[in-house]
């Protein structure tokens, strides 16, 4: 009996890319395996869902999960984890920046016994200088404060064995950073190097603001480095205040000079106030996530789930 390979594709407003992606996926879906391509429509506002439904009716290998609204890619992937039926799963974006041709090499590594075969980017395609530098800085901060090793320049494009899928399904937090969760579950991993392509059609959904907040989610979810920075700044502020206080006290006692005037007072107040506000903001990020997780709300809701694969075959 052939093994079933599932390909998970989160989609948000990808009507221009889907025909190109489907054409490329058909080239790699050989008779060596049974195949399922699970598309997760993340509340798209264009013709994405219509195209997915057409693919579903045209090809029995296609399954479609339609989410009730736009939840974001991280939660859309969880919906995919919950519904894929394969013995292994490949996660790939619809924009073809991650080439489907690598799936064959991933399957070879899987057959060799690896549970998590991730794609490591040698080059990142057409990205701005600022975006690349911000990405490198993010990984450095993340590694400083996390007990997990999260490799640089590795995205969601990877193959996961069924045991990895089942482990990820148990991690139900609302504020998700899936790249960290891949490392959290462990299992036997190996990387494959590749040069990332440019987007084949459409426009990216990841602007600088969204990437910044994703980075914040990753750092707060898997690192206590910001709290350590807050503690360090507080210690420095206390030490500076103590030194200045001693200096002016000795100066007044020995030389009879008055305590430093208005400029010094303003500088000290602004410095201490800035440290306090920064520390409160950092603590607030962590407390806010505790508040959200304590509600235990479902991570997502779906409008419909369509699959030609029977439950008996899962």
For 132-172, give the DSSP string.
HHHHHHHHHHHHHH-SS---TTEEEEEEEEHHHHHHHHT--
Are 171 and 236 members of one domain? no
> Which tokens is 65 given?
């999960």
CA-nearest of 39, 33, 34, 2 to 17 is 39
pLDDT at 90: 93
3-state secondary structure at position 128: coil
Are 229 and 219 members of one domain? no
pLDDT classification of 314: cutoffs 50, 70, 90: very low
184-219 tens-digit pLDDT: 788 888 888 887 765 555 555 555 566 566 666 666
Minimum mean pLDDT range among 36-45, 65-74, 205-214, 297-306: 205-214
Are 106 and 244 members of one domain? no
Are 280 and 180 members of one domain? no
Neighbouring C-beta atoms of residue 303, cutoff 10 Å: 12
pLDDT at 214: 61
Identify the DSSP state of 58.
Answer: H
Are 63 and 194 members of one domain? yes
Half-sphere exposure of 237 (CA within 13 A, CB side): 19
> Which tokens is 82 given?
């919950």
Domain ranges, residue 87: 4-223+299-313
Are 162 and 255 members of one domain? no
pLDDT classification of 129: cutoffs 50, 70, 90: low
Q: Number of H helices and number of E strands within the chain?
A: 10, 8
Are 234 and 306 members of one domain? no
Minimum mean pLDDT range among 46-55, 150-159, 165-174: 150-159
pLDDT at 210: 60
> Which tokens is 199 given?
């987007």
CATH number assigned to the domain comprising residue 71: 3.90.550.10
Verdict on whether the full-model pTM lies above 0.75: no
User: Domains in the chain: how many in total?
Assistant: 2
Determine phi and psi for 84, rounding to 5 degrees: -65, 145
Are 133 and 35 members of one domain? yes
Are 76 and 109 members of one domain? yes
* Contact between residue 157 and residue 121 where contact means Cβ atoms under 8 Å apart: no
Are 80 and 204 members of one domain? yes
Are 23 and 68 members of one domain? yes
Are 205 and 244 members of one domain? no
């Amino acid at each position: 009996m052939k093994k079933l390979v599932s390909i998970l594709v989160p989609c948000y407003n990808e009507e221009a890319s889907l025909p190109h992606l489907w054409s490329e996926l058909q080239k790699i879906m050989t008779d060596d395996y049974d195949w399922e391509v699970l598309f997760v429509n993340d509340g798209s506002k264009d013709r994405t869902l219509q195209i997915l439904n057409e693919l579903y009716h045209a090809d029995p290998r296609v399954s479609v999960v339609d989410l009730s609204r736009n939840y974001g890619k991280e939660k859309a992937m969880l919906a995919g984890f919950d519904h894929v039926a394969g013995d292994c799963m490949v996660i790939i974006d619809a924009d073809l920046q991650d080439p489907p041709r690598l799936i064959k090499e991933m399957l070879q590594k899987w057959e060799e016994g690896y549970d998590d075969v991730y794609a490591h980017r040698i080059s990142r395609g057409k990205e701005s200088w600022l975006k690349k530098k911000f990405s490198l800085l993010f990984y450095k901060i993340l590694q400083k404060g996390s007990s997990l090793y999260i490799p640089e320049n590795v995205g969601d494009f990877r193959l996961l064995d069924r045991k990895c899928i089942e482990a990820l399904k148990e991690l139900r937090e609302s504020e998700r950073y899936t790249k960290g969760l891949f490392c959290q579950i462990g299992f036997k991993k190996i990387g494959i190097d590749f040069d990332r392509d440019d987007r084949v059609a459409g426009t990216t959904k990841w602007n600088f603001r969204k990437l910044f907040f994703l980075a914040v989610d990753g750092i707060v979810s898997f690192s206590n480095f910001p709290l350590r920075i807050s503690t360090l700044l507080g210690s420095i502020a206390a030490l500076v205040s103590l030194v200045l206080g001693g200096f002016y006290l000795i100066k007044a006692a020995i030389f009879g000079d008055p305590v430093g005037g208005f400029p010094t007072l303003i500088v000290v107040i602004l410095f201490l106030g800035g440290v306090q506000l920064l520390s409160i903001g950092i603590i607030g990020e962590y407390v806010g996530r505790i508040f959200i997780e304590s509600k235990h709300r479902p991570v997502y809701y779906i409008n419909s789930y369509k699959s030609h694969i029977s439950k008996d075959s899962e």
